[in-house]
Structure 1
Amino acid sequence: MPKINLNRQGEAELEKTHQKMVLKGFSKNTVDNYKSSLKPFFKYFENQSLKSVTKEQIEGYVFELISKYKISESAQNTIINAIKCYYEHALGLPREYYNITRPKKSQDLPNVLHSKEVKEIINSPSNLKHKTILHTIYGAGLRVGELIRLRVVDVRSEEGYIFIKDSKGKKDRHTVLSKHLLELLREYYKIYKPAYWLFEGQTGGQYSSTSIQSIYRKAVKDTNGNPWSTPHTLRHSFATHLMERGTSLRHIQAALGHNSSKTTEIYTRVLAINNKTIKSPLDTMYESVSLDENKTTS
């Protein structure tokens, strides 16, 4: 999509929406995504009163974006949610259901790595901080945003858990603290001595998400790992490996911070299915036939 330059009215509406979202405690990512989605919307209807825009016009606008720019299903939903946010929060109009056609949610399976591949990737960095970062993401099933917001005090070694503050949906939660990870964190702490954030940048402050992406990409390249995987793949692998070992769905849901068990249930669809976990009825059929033949012969 082309770069958008808004007129004064559009800029004013964008700033009004920004203020409302901040006051309501929207996450920084949500604020940034909604603002990016609203800029072309304000530009498109800049010669019309935004209050007078109909739902049919909004649907036509979204259809044009899909047709012209091939926007993804995720982007389509974000645009609709951003527009809904503008009308309800910035303009203060009554909350209502916007009967705008939304794309059917994709049923893609999350990308998951084998335990051996995970071990090679997270042990690849020679830098202790980098190695500890990758171990923490996998060992606790964290999102990258959660990792960079970890404070030193969030590692509750006595109680045996990691405290996650303000995770997705502004919720606090606990997740598992691996004994192996705890040993690694203690070694890391002795050398780097972080003051407030568990993982600090070179000049202090939070570690950046782009740096974590770079660490992970290098580790994947050095180990000839799956080139399509990302740091978030470690979180998917954490959940799937727990499920393979028989951990209850409820405990996995709590560790990941999912609101609904339906979100966690997707990992049941990525469990390894092979001749060691499931016996094909074809084998059972031929085994029974062999037994019958033996009986007849004897």
Structure 2
Amino acid sequence: MARNVRNPKIDSRSARAKLPARREPYWTVISAGCAMGYRKGAKGGTWIARLRGDDGRQHYEALGASDDARDPDGLTVFSFAEAQEAARKFFAGKARELAGHGASISGPCSVKDALDDYFSAREGRGSKGVRADRYAADARIAPELGTIEVGKLTSKRIRDWLSATAKAPKLLRTKKAASKRATRAVDAKDPDAVRARRSTANRLLTVLKAALNHAFHEGKVASDEPWRKVKPFREADSAVIRYLSTSESVRLANACELAFRDLVRGALVTGCRYGELTRLRAADFNAEAGIISVRLSKAGKPRHVALADEGRALFASLTAGRAPQDLIFRRADGAAWGASHQQRPLDKASTIAKLEPPATFHILRHTYASALAMKGVPMGVISAQMGHSDTRMTERHYAHLAPSYVAETIRAALPALGIVDDTNVAPLKRPR
């Protein structure tokens, strides 16, 4: 954050009270070509910003009233420090305008407008995940912040929203005909539940900041400082990996109905996302090389997934007699799997297989990657198979499962102390 410039003549109420009223402002130079003035009138003072362009012309902006008679609110009444911050926003925006990057503010732009523009731009670039981010923004961001003008959005307002979002009940899937969205309260005494809600709030903050940054770069707001000051919750996104054991995977697959079973087995042998699997066509399977080609992925880049013998046999059976353009995974009626067709049959199969919590396709993806990590497969190979942009995400989730030189050295070197009694009691396995 830029340091405030001091001027003993106008930086306090008592100092300004001693000044005579006059039309010409009392100027304070902020930086080369940038100045902020205090104009004192008969009924109080106002702050003014002045920018000198490269052509020598002066550009002025009325910032708002000074806090001579009223306490500052940061919106219409400014202290000396707040006026400097507002002046810097004007300097940045006006400089962009003069440089040909568009007007500093082309008209009132609300947070909802910024979100809509951001999502439209992402759709135009073919970005993945727009539907889910738009849905989350409509549910959690727009109701609280949507009507606020971006230029009037403050750091405190964003922090208050972030804190409230982290404590808000979890939204549940609700029928379209329902008059009210179903929710589930967060258990404040459950550390993992609190962490999960903070993690959700952090993801929403990422979406909000991206939309506001897009508005800033498009010249619709003069400064990005208010949201740059807002930091996400710390230690909220620690990796909590749930994966299935071999026996759980078998029980789950056997509990699925036939057409859906193929989809679940496909996820377990490839680690692909649900959307990636449902878009695969027969031509994407190369029987000779034993690979499948994922042409559309979340990262926007195609990748090739190598198949083990079991995976190769599965895809060979599913593509036998299919035309190259035919979908590999289809519903029982021959139709394509839709965006929200997977969770209910997976919940039903999880109940039959006695899995708690119920499996999701993300858990199936974790199961695939975790199995590779525990067999010592390098993180770079797992990252390539999973379609991660680099190995950081892979290492964050799966590195602790890999055979470790440190762990093996400790186990080999630490002597047995004889402090644990032998027992023939076998503990029950708890779900991971």
- TM-score range (shorter-chain normalised) is 0.7 to 0.9
CA contact under 8 A between 2:273 and 2:365: conserved in structure 1?
Answer: yes
* Structure ranking higher in strand proportion: 2
Kindly provide the amino acid, as one letter, of the partner of residue 222 in structure 1. I
* Structure ranking higher in helix proportion: 1
Q: Distance in 2 between matches of 1:17 and 1:268?
A: 35
CA contact under 8 A between 1:258 and 1:264: conserved in structure 2?
Answer: yes
Q: Which residue of 1 aligns with 2:78?
A: none
- Which residue, 274, 291, 294 being the options, matches 1:164? 294
Q: Distance in 2 between matches of 1:49 and 1:95?
A: 13
How many pairs does the alignment contain?
A: 274
Residue segments in structure 2 that go unaligned for 5+ positions in a row:
1-109, 170-185, 187-195, 419-432
Q: What is the DSSP-based 3-state SS (H/G/I as helix, E as strand, rest coil) of the residue aligned with 2:293?
A: strand
- Which residue, 124, 138, 148 being the options, matches 1:23? 124
1:141 Cα deviation after fit? 1.0
Whether 2:204 is the aligned partner of 1:79: answer yes
Residue segments in structure 1 that go unaligned for 5+ positions in a row:
1-8, 287-298
Whether 2:111 is the aligned partner of 1:111: answer no
After superposing the two structures, state which structure 1 stretch, 83-92 or 134-143, moved more. 83-92
Q: Which residue of 2 aligns with 1:294?
A: none
Kindly provide the amino acid, as one letter, of the partner of residue 162 in structure 2. V
Q: 1:232 to 1:116 in 2, by over 3 A?
A: same
CA contact under 8 A between 2:112 and 2:146: conserved in structure 1?
Answer: no
CA contact under 8 A between 1:138 and 1:238: conserved in structure 2?
Answer: yes
Structure 2 matches for 1:25-174, cutoff 5 A? 25-27=126-128, 29-34=129-134, 36-37=136-137, 41-45=141-145, 48-67=148-167, 72-90=197-215, 92-93=218-219, 98-104=228-234, 105-125=236-256, 127=258, 129-174=259-304
Q: Which residue of 1 aligns with 2:387?
A: 257
Q: Which residue of 1 aligns with 2:400?
A: 269
CA offset digits 1:20-67 (Å, max 9, x no partner): 23123322x334424542566455456653323233332233233335
CA contact under 8 A between 1:37 and 1:78: conserved in structure 2?
Answer: no
Kindly provide the amino acid, as one letter, of the partner of residue 169 in structure 1. A
After superposing the two structures, state which structure 1 stretch, 107-116 or 16-25, moved more. 16-25
Q: What is the DSSP-based 3-state SS (H/G/I as helix, E as strand, rest coil) of the residue aligned with 2:355?
A: coil
Q: 1:31 to 1:77 in 2, by over 3 A?
A: farther
- TM-score under structure 1 normalisation? 0.75
After superposing the two structures, state which structure 1 stretch, 179-188 or 62-71, moved more. 62-71
Q: 1:139 to 1:55 in 2, by over 3 A?
A: same
Sequence identity percentage = 21
Q: Distance in 2 between matches of 1:68 and 1:231?
A: 26
CA contact under 8 A between 1:149 and 1:197: conserved in structure 2?
Answer: yes
* Runs of 4+ off more than 6 Å: 94-97, 191-194
- TM-score under structure 2 normalisation? 0.54
Q: Distance in 2 between matches of 1:87 and 1:33?
A: 14
Q: Distance in 1 between matches of 2:244 and 2:402?
A: 11
Q: Which residue of 2 aligns with 1:293?
A: none
